[in-house]
Amino acid sequence: MSDREELLAQLEFYWDHNLWPRLRGLTDEEYFWEPVPGCWSVRRREDDTWSMDWEWPTPEPAPVTTIAWRLAHMGIQTLGIRASALFGDGSLTVESVRWPRTAAEALRALATHYEHWRRGVRAHQPADEDAFTTLILHMNREVIHYGAEVVLMRDLYRAARRPATAASSPA
């Protein structure tokens, strides 16, 4: 198995067994949940357009981000824009994107861009295979990193809404 095939298998295993099953049932309330003040998110602006909060350079410390922000970053900025640039027509850009306004839209975008990336990686014949392998490794790290944060945020959301019980209350 080539390095590329192994890295693609790593991403596919993570997606199939760790990430996608944990995203089922995501609600809009979870999607937009802001556990602390000042979160970055995807939000409607005064002119009725939607955008993703960001600043460059990123402030130190970086703001806490919502599930909406993390899914948009992972699905659109990480997978979507790169897949469009490398394997498509390059039409998906930060300027052209329609930011997901609901959890369902975000999950559809994530799944679509993941498939585009996966198919592209499998079929692409780059001039520099080592550089392409480095990019695939970086993309895997991004998806695993942000995916883990999303599922942790879902766990925290659920825990914050669960009534305390005698077994879970401190003595």
Residue pair 8/117 in contact (Cβ under 8 Å)? The answer is no
Does the residue 155 lie in any domain? yes
Task: Report the number of distinct structural domains present in the chain.
Answer: 1
Q: In terms of residue numbers, what domain contains 40?
A: 3-160
Does the residue 166 lie in any domain? no
H or E element: which one contains 106?
helix 103-123
Question: Each residue of 136-158: pLDDT tens digit?
Answer: 999 999 999 999 999 999 999 99
Confidence at residue 162, expressed as pLDDT on a 0 to 100 scale:
85
Confidence at residue 21, expressed as pLDDT on a 0 to 100 scale:
98
Stretches where the chain sits below pLDDT 70 are: 164-171
Does the residue 168 lie in any domain? no
Residue pair 60/117 in contact (Cβ under 8 Å)? The answer is no
Confidence at residue 163, expressed as pLDDT on a 0 to 100 scale:
78
Does the residue 170 lie in any domain? no
Does the residue 22 lie in any domain? yes
H or E element: which one contains 42?
strand 42-44
